[in-house]
Every structure is written in C-alpha cells, then in structure tokens.
Chains A and B, each alone.
Chain A
Amino acid sequence: MKTIVDASKKGISLDLKELIRYKDLFLILAYRDFRVRYAQTYLGFIWAFLQPLATLTIFTLVFGKAAKIDTGDIPYPVFAVVGMSAWTYFSFVMSQAGSSIIGAQGMIKKIYFPRLVIPLGKAFVGLIDYAIVFSILVGIMIYFQYPISSNIIFLPVFFLANIMSALAFGIWFSTLTIRYRDFKHIIPFTVQFGLYLTPIAYPADLLVERIPEWAAVIYYLNPVAGIVEGFRFSILGTPFTNWYALISFGIMLIIFVTGLFYFKKMERVMADIV
C-alpha cells in the first residue's frame, strides 16, 4: 500500500475505491447512531413507531377530518402515510447529514478517513426509519384493504431519487455549515417549511389550481414533491402528471454531484476550520 499526498495536485477525485475500502466504517457508524438514538429511554425502539404514528394521527384529524381534504377514492390515512414515508426519510437524512461534520469534529481533528463516510453513513441510518414508516404503511393499507398498484415496480427509481436528493441537500449543508454556521439554523427551517411545501398532507393539484403558473412551476421544482407523487404513483396507482419533477430530478443529480466535489475540495481543510 502506498500513500501519496501532493499539494501541487489540484485535481479532485472522488476516490470511490477508498470509500468502498471504508465500508466497515459506514456500517459501524450507522450502528452507533442507531444504538445511541434511543439509549436510556424507557420506550426505546417504540419511539421510532410512535413519532410517525402521532404525525399521521394529527394529519388525519386536521387535514382529513377538520379540513376535509379531498383525496378521491383513497382513504386519507393511506394517502398521507405514503407521502410521509418519502418525507420522513428525506428530512431525517438531510438534517442528520447536514449537521454531521460539525458533530464529528472531534474525530476529524484526530484521525484520517474519507470524510464522506460521515454524511453518506446517515443515508444508511435513515433506512431504518424508512422501514418503520413503510411497515406502518403496509399495516394501514391492509386495514383499509387498499390494493397495491402494479406500478410498484417503479418504486425503486423514486426511492433512489429520494436518497439522492436527501444526500444532495445534506452534503451541501454539511460542508457549508463548517464555514457558515448560519446553516445550522437553516436546516431545521428547511425541514419545517418543506413539510408544508411538499404535497404530503394534501394532493398537489389542490394547491396548484389556486396559484399562478410561475408559482406552480417553482412548487413542482421541489424534488421531494416529485418523489412524493412518484411514491403515490407507484404504491397507490394515482396518475403521475407532474413532468416538472423530471426536471427537478435532473437538477438534483447536478446538485448531488457538485456537492460531492465541493465536499472533497473542502475535505482538505476541514480539520483546520471545523
């Protein structure tokens, strides 16, 4: 094994081979996050179920019962839980990855490893949350006897888009937070507003019909909007009409890749400025 470090080499490579060599570190950091999350709580892992269930109950009461939002043939809880499954993963991974580098500064200053392991690892931890919401989703669909659409084969595509968009935001935030601590405050803000700006609790049409066209375009460019609609298309068989989503997926891909390179560029000085 040979290590070469050269300051005059300005090129940035993602060095995926090295990342793969550190796969054990991904897994153990994900394990640590998972273990520590509910450590010393009385209910322990039950919390992981309670949180999405509580949100879903509130949504059903407020939007389903009180506001009587029209979700067509789909029972409201089924409609909402599908949107929530995409959003829960997105918001968790984005905010966890976003604050991950600041959170790991003790390690960063003392030892080398590819720093990308830290935010990327959060995408693994988020899978557990995703599995939990998904099991709730299955339970609710069985309860309402709502059949799964044959479009389900498209779900992996939207799921990948979900992971990518969460990491795209998360990696950018994690790097920017090192320089500008302002982003520590922007992250929770994004999560809070995103929940309402994304068609999770209501169908997108309901809003889009009432706003000018340019606003609708902006609304649809929210990548999670496209992902949520994609989830409903795949699981519930609702029509997928939001073609702007495809543009936003393209933009996301660009943000994701630039995020990776910006991160690699900053990696060199991370220990100095974190």
Chain B
Amino acid sequence: MSDIAVRVEGLGKKYLIGKQRHATIGERFRSIWAKSDHVDESEFWALKDVSFEIKKGEAVGIIGKNGAGKSTLLKVLSKITHPTTGRFEMEGRVSSLLEVGTGFHPELTGRENIFLNGTILGMSRSEIKSKFDEIVAFSGVEKFIDTPVKHYSSGMYVRLAFSVAAHLEPEILIIDEVLAVGDAEFQKKCLGKMDEVAKQGRTVIFVSHNIGAVRNLCSEGLLIEEGELSLKANVDNIISKYQNNFKIDRNQRVDFSSRIGKGDIRVNQIEIFDKKNKLTGKVYVGSDLEIKLGISIEEKVTYKSRVIVGIYDHIGVSCARFDSDVSGDSIDIVRDCSLKCQTQPIYLSPGNYSINIALYGNGVMQDYISNVVSLEVKNDDFFETGKFFEDNMTRIWLRNQWSIEDEVQG
C-alpha cells in the first residue's frame, strides 16, 4: 500500500426508505403485537459495490447527477456513517470538510470558535495555537476576534470558518462542493486554497457539480451513476462521459417524475420542435421554436393561467425563458386543451439543454416540472463558412460581419 492513499473495495450503503422504523415506542409495541417488524419498508442502495484506488498526491473529482450517491460516498469515506457492505482503507491523516464552521457557536467569540472548530476538525490545541495568528490574518476579522460571532456579518462568519478549514494540514482531504458557496470572491479564495492543497502533493477527494472546478483542480475523476461507479479515468474523459450521458439520458424522453404543485391543472404532454425542419427535440441554431403543451384540467372552472417554459444548459444556467405573463398573453384555461408557444429564432450554441415547465392557475402554482424533456441544439453550418465554435466555447451564436470601417491615416 506504499503509493496508494485510499483503497475502496465493494463499498455499499443501504438505506431503508418509506416509513421510518418505530419512530415511537407505541409503534414498536404495536409492531410486536402485529408480529411484523417492517411495515411499508423498502430498501434503497445509495451505493452499490463501489471499488477504486487513489494514489498518494492524486486529486480526484467525483462527478454525478443529484442523487447519484456522491454525498453518500463522501459521508462513508468521512466515517460519518458506516457502510453496509465492503471496506476501505486510508493511509495518512484524513480531514473531511462537508461544511465550514461545524460546531460554531453564536455566543462564543471568534477566538473561542477558532479553537472549538479547529478541535472538531481534528487539530490539537497546540497546533491551533501555533497557527492562530495566521488563521486570524487570513480571515481578515482581526478587529472582531473577541466579539461573539452572532454579531458578525454572514460574510465575516464564513471567512472565519473557512480560514480555520484552510489551515488544516491533512494528508488526505475530503471536500464537498457545498464549500464553494458564498460570494464569488469567497468561492475564488476557496477554490484557490484547494488548488494549493492539491499542488502540495496531498491527496484530495472533491465532489462537485461544477465541471469547471473539477477540471481545474483534479487530474483524475470518478463518475457515479445510480450508486455505482461507472468510470474512473482521467478527468477530461470523465467529464466528456458525464456530458454524453446527459445527452443520451435526456434525449427525447419526457419525464414528469419531478413534478410539484397543486395539480388542479397540469401539463400532460410537451413537444418542442424546430418549425422549419419539423424535428422534435432537435433544433438548429437560429431556427424558430414551437412549443406545444397538452393541458389537463380537474374541474371545469376558469383558470387565469400563466405558463413559463425555461431552457437550461448542462450546468443549470438559465438560457432562455418564455413566460406568458412577461409576453403579455392572457391564457384562460377552461377545459382540456393544448397551448402553443411560438418563438423568434433562438441563437443558443449547439449542445444539450433541458426544459423546465411551470404552470400557474389563479395565482397558485399548479404544476412545476424540472428536466421534463431535453432539447438538442444542432449546428448546420450556421455561419455558412464551414467554420464554427467548439462546444461550450460561447453560449450564444450570432452571425456577424467584420470589415474595415475607416482607414486610420499615417
């Protein structure tokens, strides 16, 4: 195990979902009475047979969709929860950062919280003492170090909390992307510090949705899908596999599973197509879109409705919105019907996008479905030069012409 820092073998974690087992003693007794120990119970494997090795000094990014098991893997590796199957070994001092400021108490001063939080993170008292001045300087809250942190602004609070974490010196660092919250400046500082840690030859395990951050920080990647390790490889391969999956997975499939809302009126069908080319789910850059929604209604009363369709890119950035309220279209729904939305040409760069729908009736959210269907934007020699931009190079494509306006004299 000389150059291996982390070795994971057949790791699995099972949760029982549905009704929680015997939340009260009464239920416990009732279940004895009924001679059954599990009511309404089903198993859910958040992690299944995950095995991998991480070499010393490697920075590994764990990528996967929400609910794929990334956080569970992190929790198991951090020893917060025990695995159901399998084993893992780690060589060296481990620190895990799933949030900053764990254990911070609002009534205690900044100074006291540094000691409290540092100890919780696994530093010894003498270690904190020797780094104390550095931590305070990094946080920039010197003036308030003897003030209870409840009087801190949220920015000061986070800075202090992060500077404690930043002064950990583990050999293996397990870190969650939730760290990268806060303002942009703080995020930069946070990522910068992680980069520094990674470059010092420490082993880093980093979970994120943020593809850019993973690409910058990590050399290796793990792709987790539905609790299983789907691939461990070079980080660029992992990212492209992840993005391809995004393509295949969402393509053409209408998925109403993530629906919330009151439900008196609902969207039961959705079709998006390129008006000129009559392709469903695929459009060319610069074409007009047509969106058709099938609407079903519970009771035959009039719903003054507002419908919103949003287009999101693969990292969840909203790229376009078609909102009947903003466009000033009044829509009264009285019976089952279909709605049509006609757009002007869209100039989104080629790639895969997902669609969210929201439907309001009489001021109440009736139906909200995220990732209901995917939209593929394609390029068909948009610039008419045979040339084009690579994926993700820019978000919007606009035809343009360059020329010399005026020759500058001499």
Pick from B23, B87, B112: contact of A8, CB below 8 A: B87
Pick from A24, A106, A180: contact of B28, CB below 8 A: A180
Decide: B25 and A180 in contact? CB cutoff 8 A.
Answer: yes
Q: Are A268 and B81 CB-contacts (below 8 A) given A112-B96, A181-B24?
A: yes
Map CB proximity to A onto B245-270 as digits: 1 under 8 Å, 0 otherwise.
Answer: 00000000000000000000000000
Decide: A5 and B87 in contact? CB cutoff 8 A.
Answer: yes
Return chain B residues, CB-CB under 8 Å to A31: 112
Q: Are A3 and B94 CB-contacts (below 8 A) given A107-B120, A182-B25, A269-B82?
A: yes
Is residue A179 contacting chain B, with contact meaning CB distance below 8 A? yes
Return chain B residues, CB-CB under 8 Å to A36: 105, 107-108
Q: Are A111 and B80 CB-contacts (below 8 A) given A24-B119, A180-B22, A182-B25?
A: yes
Is residue B382 contacting chain A, with contact meaning CB distance below 8 A? no
Decide: A111 and B112 in contact? CB cutoff 8 A.
Answer: no
Decide: A180 and B92 in contact? CB cutoff 8 A.
Answer: no
The secondary structure that dominates the A interface is mixed
State in angstroms the CA–CA spacing of A272 and B17 once bound together: 11
Is residue A7 contacting chain B, with contact meaning CB distance below 8 A? yes
Decide: A7 and B84 in contact? CB cutoff 8 A.
Answer: yes
Tell me the residues in window 176-228 of chain A with beta carbons closer than 8 Å to chain B beta carbons: 179-182
Decide: B23 and A271 in contact? CB cutoff 8 A.
Answer: no
Tell me the residues in window 1-47 of chain A with beta carbons closer than 8 Å to chain B beta carbons: 1-8, 24-25, 28-29, 31-32, 35-36, 39-40
Is residue B243 contacting chain A, with contact meaning CB distance below 8 A? no
State in angstroms the CA–CA spacing of A108 and B103 once bound together: 10
Number of B interface residues in the complex (CB < 8 A):
47
State in angstroms the CA–CA spacing of A273 and B24 once bound together: 13
Max chain B C-beta neighbours (<10 A), residue from A4, A24, A29: A24
In the assembled complex, the CB of B64 is this many whole angstroms from the nearest CB of chain A, namely 20
Return chain B residues, CB-CB under 8 Å to A111: 78, 80, 96, 98, 102-103, 120-121
In the assembled complex, the CB of A187 is this many whole angstroms from the nearest CB of chain B, namely 14
In the assembled complex, the CB of A34 is this many whole angstroms from the nearest CB of chain B, namely 11
Is residue A113 contacting chain B, with contact meaning CB distance below 8 A? yes
Decide: A4 and B80 in contact? CB cutoff 8 A.
Answer: no
Tell me the residues in window 242-274 of chain A with beta carbons closer than 8 Å to chain B beta carbons: 268-269, 271-273
Return chain B residues, CB-CB under 8 Å to A39: 107, 148
Is residue B89 contacting chain A, with contact meaning CB distance below 8 A? yes
Decide: B93 and A1 in contact? CB cutoff 8 A.
Answer: yes
Return chain A residues, CB-CB under 8 Å to B89: 2-5
B interface vs A, CB < 8 Å?
11-12, 15, 20, 22-26, 28, 75-76, 78-94, 96, 98-99, 102-103, 105, 107-108, 112, 115-116, 119-122, 124-125, 148
A interface vs B, CB < 8 Å?
1-8, 24-25, 28-29, 31-32, 35-36, 39-40, 106-113, 179-182, 268-269, 271-273
- 26 A-B pairs (CB sep. < 8 Å): A1-B91, A3-B79, A3-B88, A3-B94, A5-B89, A7-B12, A7-B83, A7-B87, A8-B85, A25-B119, A29-B116, A35-B107, A35-B108, A36-B107, A106-B102, A107-B120, A111-B78, A111-B96, A111-B98, A113-B120, A179-B22, A179-B23, A180-B25, A182-B26, A268-B82, A271-B75
